[in-house]
Amino acid sequence: MDAGIHEALFCFVKSGQDSERYKGKIVLSENKQLMNLELSPEYFIQGEKSDAGYFGENKRLGRNPTASVNWNTISEDCIAGTWLEDNEDWLFTAQL
pLDDT digits (tens, 9 = 90+) for 55-82: 999 876 666 657 899 999 999 899 999 9
Q: What is the pLDDT of residue 64?
A: 62
- In terms of phi and psi (left: phi > 0; alpha: psi -120 to 50; beta: otherwise), the region of 53 is left
* Residue range 4-95, CATH number: 2.40.128.120
Q: What are the boundaries of each domain within the chain?
A: 4-95
Select the more confidently predicted residue: 39 or 27. 27
User: What whole-number distance in Å separates Cα of residue 82 and Cα of residue 3?
Assistant: 23
Average pLDDT, the chain: 90
User: What whole-number distance in Å separates Cα of residue 8 and Cα of residue 28?
Assistant: 12
Q: In this model, does residue 14 exceed pLDDT 70? A: yes
Q: What is the pLDDT of residue 1?
A: 76
Select the more confidently predicted residue: 56 or 2. 56
